[in-house]
Amino acid sequence: MSSRNPGSITQDWDTVVLHKSKPKTQDLRDPKAVNQALRSGAQVQTVKKFDAGSNKRTPSTAVNARKLDEAGEPAALDRVSAEVRQAIQKARIEKKLSQAELAKQINERPQVVQEYENGKAVPNQAVLAKMERVLGVKLRGLKHK
């Protein structure tokens, strides 16, 4: 083991100060830098880009607005026809399923089955296909109102 001389070990107690270097040119995209430049009297050049800050497409919105004006009354959505409603209800009762059990088998909420049977639902082909598979009846080819 070597012996160390306590006097030979020195500690440097000078403080080290780190300064952030400022960028050589100010970024004038920063609103604070622009305001500071304006306050100091420096010239600031602004360039407005064509159609900047606009997310609207004026031609298509004008066309859509015109179509809405010409249409007058909003078109009513098609609802499930009486024929489809009765077919769902009849097949579900024959299979001895409740609305909740049918909903569980087709991976939908019970409210969806209830709306289909009450005629309040807007027909969705995917939901009708799942009901056809579980109930074993044809629902998608039936005539609507």
pLDDT one-digit tens code per residue, 12-53: 777 777 777 665 555 556 778 778 888 888 877 767 666 666
Q: Kindly report the three-state secondary structure assignment for every residue of 35-101.
A: HHHHHCCCCCCCCCCCCCCCCCCHHHHHHHHHHHHHHCCCCCCCCCCHHHHHHHHHHHHHCCCCHHH
Percent of the chain's residues with pLDDT above 90:
32
Q: Compute how many other C-beta atoms are within 10 angstroms of the C-beta atom of residue 131.
A: 26
Q: What is the CATH number of domain 82-135?
A: 1.10.260.40
- Taking each helix axis from N to C end, the angle separating 110-118 and 82-94, rounded to the nearest 10 degrees, works out to 130
Tell if the pTM clears 0.75, that is, is over it. Answer: no
Q: Where are the domains of the chain?
A: 82-135
pLDDT one-digit tens code per residue, 100-135: 999 999 999 999 999 999 988 888 999 999 999 999
